[in-house]
Amino acid sequence: MTNEVILLDFWPSMFGMRTRIALREKGVEFEYREEDLRNKSPLLLQMNPIHKKIPVLIHNGKPVNESIIQVQYIDEVWSHKSPILPSDPYQRAQARFWADFIDKKMYDAQRKVWATKGEEQETGKKDFIEILKTLESELGDKPYFAGDDFGYVDIALIGFSTWFPAYEKFGNFSVEQECPKLTAWVKKCLQRESVAKSLPEPEKVTEFVSMLRTKFVAE
Amino acid sequence: IAQENTYTQTQRTENQTGLTGKMNQEEQVQVLGLWGSPFSKRVEMVLQLKGIPYEYIEEDVYGNKSPMLLKYNPIHKKVPVLVHNGRSIAESLVIVEYIEDTWKTGPTILPQDPYERAMARFWAKYVDEKVMVAMGKAFWGPESEREKERKEAYEGLISLEKEIGDKRFFGGETIGIVDIAADFIGYWLGIVQEVSGVTIMTAEEFPNLKRWSEDFVGNNIIKEVLPPKQKLAALFKTPFRSAATSG
């Protein structure tokens, strides 16, 4: 059976990064297609009619949507190597809990840091730093969130790190100062080939965010 | 979903499947919940569908959150929480997947095929994040936003109407994770619409969902878990404070 895998994605998306990493962890060959979000392709609209968003994973013509669902799907289909979720049900539940936490909290909070100003931004920044600290506390002294092995929560979070310099620039704070352990974890993850190949240069992301910011904030 | 909790005493009840007697110390399952919460009930539904005995503990989430709740869900401080052999899991759909992973007897809530599983997770997430959030705000959110949220909820229901189509349940022949996630739509929604006078889902516009909700609520096990209609109606008549039940 042929395994045709296409990923519809947008290069700075921290969600798309998750799926890229998962595919690479498993050694799956895939075709990466860049989407112009201002001009979405007919394929994207056909494969994700409900949300019309990236990333969209198309496996042998069938779409899987939502990055966190894609990562689980990839783990289950290519189960022969590099497990992403732990095998123990309790550890799996913890991993799912933290990925859910990231999904529920990170996106909205980080958005306030670069897309707003004044008091809204200050509150957003405080919330965001608190969320980072909660995650750092969960990481503790472990190399990765699940312990010794790189996995699900690391994959869920690491893409946001490419946006950190942008948050620092517009929010006027230092992630390293606030969360040294998390910063060390980022560096460790970047040493992994699947991650290094899947993440864009933070400088490019910052440029992109600067451009976006002008649309939201009158300086 | 914001609710007033009128039950301030902690109640300990035997599990409702009728299995009494001492629980095996090795297999101690507790649910910290709220009697009227659809999120809390999701967990109880799955436990009972699978015939897993558990101890139910009613939490006074609006009054005094118990030390047990604060210990077992320090991050969100919400119900439901499942405690299994002293270890806790929070977030109703995470708990449902945990139950599925842990107890291998009884009916399955997720399909076996990875693609079907991904579809089930997608729709469960859709119910939770799009439909439930919009409904909560449509009925209980700031007045100025209710109309907008009603439209969101309505759109969500249209997608679900299409998704269920002719199937008996979202899970196919048997109840699955999407049905469980959609419990509010299957039962609570009708009562809230009656009490508030605001209708989002009519039988005429949503015949599939109407039929599904009857089958869902009519299921022998589900109907025993659902909170009594009169109690819920009384609850919805009172004004709400902020949600203390989690997704």
User: How many domains does chain B fold into?
Assistant: 2
* B128: nearest CA partner in chain A: A104
* A67: nearest CA partner in chain B: B122
Q: Between B6 and B129, name the one with better pLDDT.
A: B129
User: The pTM is what?
Assistant: 0.91
- Interatomic CA distance for residues B236 and B202, integer angstroms: 19
| Domain end position, chosen among B72, B102, B132 | B102
Encode pLDDT of B112-144 as tens digits. Answer: 999 999 999 999 999 999 999 999 999 999 999
CATH number for the domain formed by residue range(s) A5-78: 3.40.30.10
Assess whether B95 and B191 both reside in one domain: no
**A89-216 domain in CATH 3.40.190.10?**
no
Question: With pLDDT > 70 as the criterion, what percentage of chain B qualifies?
Answer: 86
- Whether B102 contacts chain A with CB within 8 A: yes
Q: Between B172 and A3, name the one with better pLDDT.
A: B172
In a domain, B16, yes or no: no
Single-letter amino acid, residue A156: A
C-beta separation of B193 from B199 below 8 A: yes
Assess whether B226 and B192 both reside in one domain: yes
Instruction: Check whether B145 has a pLDDT greater than 90.
Output: yes
- Whether A133 contacts chain B with CB within 8 A: no
Mean pLDDT on A64-92 = 97
| Domain end position, chosen among B53, B70, B102 | B102
- Whether A94 contacts chain B with CB within 8 A: yes
- Interatomic CA distance for residues B183 and B161, integer angstroms: 15
C-beta separation of A123 from A165 below 8 A: no
pLDDT band, residue A3 (cuts 50/70/90): confident
Q: Is B89–A97 a contact, with Cβ atoms under 8 angstroms apart?
A: yes
CA distance A31 to chain B (A): 19
- Whether B90 contacts chain A with CB within 8 A: yes
Give the residues across from B33 on adjacent strands.
B58
pLDDT band, residue A2 (cuts 50/70/90): confident
Q: Which domain holds residue B74?
A: 29-102
A and B: number of Cβ contacts within 8 A: 58
Report residue A134 as tokens. 């909660």
- CATH for B75: 3.40.30.10
Give the residues across from B87 on adjacent strands.
B84
Supply the ipTM of this predicted assembly: 0.96
Query: Coil, helix or strand for B206?
Result: coil
What confidence score (pLDDT) does residue A218 get? 76
In a domain, B174, yes or no: yes
- CATH for B147: 1.20.1050.10
- Whether A59 contacts chain B with CB within 8 A: yes
In a domain, B203, yes or no: yes
What residue has token string 């039940």?
B245
Contacts of A5 in chain B (CB under 8 A): none
Assess whether B135 and B168 both reside in one domain: yes
| Domain end position, chosen among B73, B102, B131 | B102
H/E element, A108: helix A89-115
What confidence score (pLDDT) does residue B20 get? 41
Taking alpha carbons only, the member of A33, A30, A31 closest to residue A13 is: A33
* A103: nearest CA partner in chain B: B129
Encode pLDDT of A25-39 as tens digits. Answer: 999 999 999 999 999
Pairing of strands B29-33, B55-58: parallel
- Interatomic CA distance for residues B110 and B101, integer angstroms: 10
- Whether A69 contacts chain B with CB within 8 A: yes
What confidence score (pLDDT) does residue B239 get? 63
What confidence score (pLDDT) does residue A57 get? 98
